[in-house]
Structure 1
């Protein structure tokens, strides 16, 4: 990742409609919904700051002015917004923002995900593990059996060499995608104009054997509904307490 101060090295996807979180999201975009005392978006941006990112792009669409106003005064990282008049989905949103982003590799995270760190911060692990000679995509994945609140069938098989394979026709797969990743901008060459899913670029990387996975070793919380938010708050509070205790112990060594 370059330290070029004129282009952001990271992007946070914050343009979704948050339909499953209604009625909370009737008046508030999901990235601004508080979890553990602060908006989900701020948890992600704070983690970017801790990882040394000085700039980040945040896209916005639904109640987008609220997001733009919220991040306007932020300095760590400094935030550039990428407004979308029409919702561009994940892939289209990143493609629109490419002129603002690093030319070599982009760390991308969903604004509405929450995780606690493992032995090393997830962003740091992804940055260290991304190898542009062999990878165009490095996705943070998590075991289906351990994801709090996750009730899906999984997304990927993690192969012995670190490459990913889609679940396909299998009834289930052992890992799901966390919404955190590093992508090469070259994946967006010859992609559609307008709205499209990041699955388009994942399929390209998978077909070329250049899509890898990194298993997150901390906690991951799926917060998709108001009920899930309420249920997860005490569990998250305890997980954050454990995380702080570990950080304090490590700092005292």
Structure 2
């Protein structure tokens, strides 16, 4: 298969970010990694993997650092490839370091610290992905539909889905993106914002709007909001 065709195929791998220290969670992450913090009795990473399983994505790569063995033990029996990081590499550096495990072509990336109420965002991305015009496609959350989020917003979305920097929508932590541009970043630890900046400059960063509710589980207050959101769903 040519490099061009491999770059444009539908992604068949999810990169799940699970390496961070989770310091904003305080005492909750003193003895466990953030992805193992329970939300309504199930670990955060299990909620994230529910999305992967439901969407039928065949391959999953999980990056590890802080208390990584605990995550390995928790996921025993699942067909998962682990990418152990000797130091925190941030999202961009973590993805770049795992490219040998992911392979060529676009990849789905998923943060492990959010709870979703509504349609599966991975399925939404795969249905809307257009590699002819896009280098990345991300799920955006309108601020009115976000819980637990303390930032200022990330992007403005035009009617055609094209993105610019702004505060009208929040990046929900799940996307499809081509990884070619990582080779142009001469750093080891860096944010995916550097890759997005390349795509923004080329007019090839796109987003879709999530119609449901999303909760950022970044601190204990966000955890309580996520649990309430799930309890309301079960009623």
| Structure 1 residue 234, shift from structure 2 partner | 2.2
Write the distance in 2 (CA, Å) between the matches of 1:202 and 1:2: 19
Write the distance in 2 (CA, Å) between the matches of 1:192 and 1:88: 13
Partner of 1:219: 213
CA distances 1:195-239 after superposition (whole Å, capped 9, x unpaired): 011001000010000000111112101222123312431232112
Partner of 1:32: 36
Matches within 5 A, 1:135-154: 135-154=134-153
| Structure 1 residue 2, shift from structure 2 partner | 5.3
Write the distance in 2 (CA, Å) between the matches of 1:228 and 1:149: 4
Matches within 5 A, 1:81-92: 81-92=82-93
With the length of structure 2 as denominator, give the TM-score of the two structures. Answer: 0.91
8 Å contact kept, 1:13–1:111: yes
| Deviation larger for 125-134 or 230-239 | 230-239
Partner of 1:200: 194
Does structure 1 residue 186 correspond to structure 2 residue 187?
Answer: no
Measured on the aligned residues, the alpha-carbon RMSD in Å equals 1.5
CA distances 1:165-200 after superposition (whole Å, capped 9, x unpaired): 102xxxxx2201111110102121211241011001
Matches within 5 A, 1:69-80: 69-74=73-78, 78-80=79-81
| Structure 1 residue 72, shift from structure 2 partner | 2.7
Does structure 1 residue 128 correspond to structure 2 residue 127?
Answer: yes
Partner of 2:70: 66
Write the distance in 2 (CA, Å) between the matches of 1:98 and 1:151: 31
SS of equivalent residue, structure 1 residue 114: strand
Structure 1 stretches of 4+ with a deviation exceeding 3 A read none
Partner of 2:113: 112
Partner of 1:98: 99
8 Å contact kept, 1:137–1:183: yes
With the length of structure 1 as denominator, give the TM-score of the two structures. Answer: 0.85
SS of equivalent residue, structure 1 residue 237: helix
Write the distance in 2 (CA, Å) between the matches of 1:233 and 1:50: 21
CA distances 1:66-111 after superposition (whole Å, capped 9, x unpaired): 112212311xxx2100000111110000001111114221010001
Write the distance in 2 (CA, Å) between the matches of 1:194 and 1:33: 28
Alignment partner for residue 58 of structure 2, among 54, 59, 62?
Answer: 54
Total equivalences in the alignment: 227
8 Å contact kept, 2:147–2:225: no
Alignment partner for residue 15 of structure 2, among 11, 16, 20?
Answer: 11
| Structure 1 residue 42, shift from structure 2 partner | 0.8
